[in-house]
Amino acid sequence: MSLVYIRNAAQLITMAGPNEKPRTGAAMSELGVIENGGLVLDGERIAFVGSDAEAASFVERSEGGHEVTVIDATGRTVAPGLVDPHTHVVFAGSRESELDMRLHGATYMQIMNAGGGIHYSTERMREASEEQLVRETEKRLDRFLAHGVTTIEAKSGYGLRLEDELKQLRAARALNERHPVELVSTFMGAHAVPREYKTDPDAYVRLVVEEMIPAVAREGLAEYCDVFCEEGVFTPEQSRAVLEAGKQWGLKPKIHADEIVPYGGAELAAEVGAVSAEHLLRASGEGIRAMAAKGVIAVLLPGTAFFLMTKPADARAMIEAGVPVALSTDRNPGSSPTESLPFVMNLACLTMGMTPSEVLTACTINAAHAIGRADRIGSLEPGKQADVVIFDAPNYLYLQYHYAVNLVETVIKQGKPVIVSGRRTDR
Ligand code: NIG
Ligand code: FE
């Protein structure tokens, strides 16, 4: 037995349960903070969580000649490894010229409709080999890890034809096997209507429903199915068809909803029983109430609103309506090119009025629920996976106050220290 003992944390953010359901309302502010806390990891699992004095005696009792690695967390804040439940991280190339175009007055949708945006990334994806995708994406995963993120969701949706969608998902699977950051895959063939189907989008929807979804499901390449339900992309009717087909093949529904204009996406999420609806910048009051009634998680992406220079989602209205809220970077080459989930947390406070405790819930246990992993990650409780982040911060409020810098000092993934003093140690 080899133990890791994280001693004397100024604050240990446990997110202790009940955690059967994602948290809503006032429960989003309950972090289960232990002052002067101690955490003991036994291999890949958490063995003990409590006061430092109790943790010290737990270690003493179980030591018996076994190796103990001690990490001193004096003056530090210790939290569950951060979880990012919405990314498009597997892609090739970059799109910095679009920022310049937007600063000269073009909109995100104009750029996409003129053949740029997602279409540009589709060209790069189709040219790239699986090895190239793995190589490029690995650097992004390194940055996620350095920012305290230990699990992410990763969507396909830049291939937009069967072989390239499979290539993108296989790259995610290969990365999951070789990188400390764990990836949970979502099939998003309905991310855009590819240019070759421009005059017949319904034919593309048929391709997604009849060929892509069955092929992805047969190869076990994804757990979720997502669709970009947006004016000028996929209608609510087309989106429903995609998500229902996904359900038939065992892919749980997620939806990009009401990002640019109100389009009934939140309502559709409730109707199809989606696990989560994402973006929601322009979600209607009725849509929000329907999500609350069905327990659909709102995955909010204030970094995307910031980068597209637009008003973010109404997080306060959602929390007040009883919708469970999670946060994510939306890491992608167009609307949100960042791996800094901690900065997105800052933006959630500063641009959406979420409180420091709500954002921690949104990036740990609620994010874990949004990717079906709340039984394993998202809180520091005995028996759970030993995914831990240590911030150079005396308390959790400080994380939102000392903003836009990386305060992550140590990251432990499945019991293994992978970042120590801000540097990778496992290679
Ligand atoms: O979530 N909205 C659609 N998809 C992505 C952006 C993809 C891209 O621009 O490459 C998003 O913002
Ligand atoms: Fe997205």
Give tens-digit pLDDT for 131-184.
999 999 999 999 999 999 999 999 999 999 999 999 999 999 999 999 999 999
pLDDT 10s digits, 321-337: 999 999 999 999 999 99
Question: DSSP string of 49-110?
Answer: EEEHHHHHHHHHHHHTT-EEEEEE-TT-EEEEPEEE--------S--HHHHHHHHTT--HHH
Is 346 a residue whose pLDDT tops 80? yes
Ramachandran category for residue 36: left, alpha or beta (phi over 0 → left; psi -120 to 50 → alpha)? left
Nearest CA to ligand 1 atom 6: 335
Helix (H, G, I), strand (E, B) or coil at 150: strand
Give the C-alpha separation, 138 to 411, whole Å: 17
| Overall pTM > 0.75 | yes
Residues 43-58, mean pLDDT to the nearest whole number: 98
Looking at ligand 1, which residue's alpha carbon is closest to its atom 3?
228
Q: Which residues surround ligand 2, an ion (CB under 5 A)?
A: 330
A 10 A CB-CB count for 71 gives 21
Confidence label for 1 from pLDDT (cuts 50, 70 and 90): low
**What DSSP line would sit under 231-277, residue for residue?**
TTSB-HHHHHHHHHHHHHTTPEEEEEESSSS--SHHHHHHHHT-SEE
Sign of CA dihedral 205, 207, 208, 209: positive
> How confident is residue 64, by pLDDT bands cut at 50, 70 and 90?
confident
Separation of 347 CA from ligand 1 center, angstroms? Answer: 19
Atom of ligand 1 nearest to the CA of 86: 1
User: What residue ranges line ligand 1, CB within 6 angstroms?
Assistant: 88, 117-118, 121, 228, 256, 259, 304, 330, 332-335
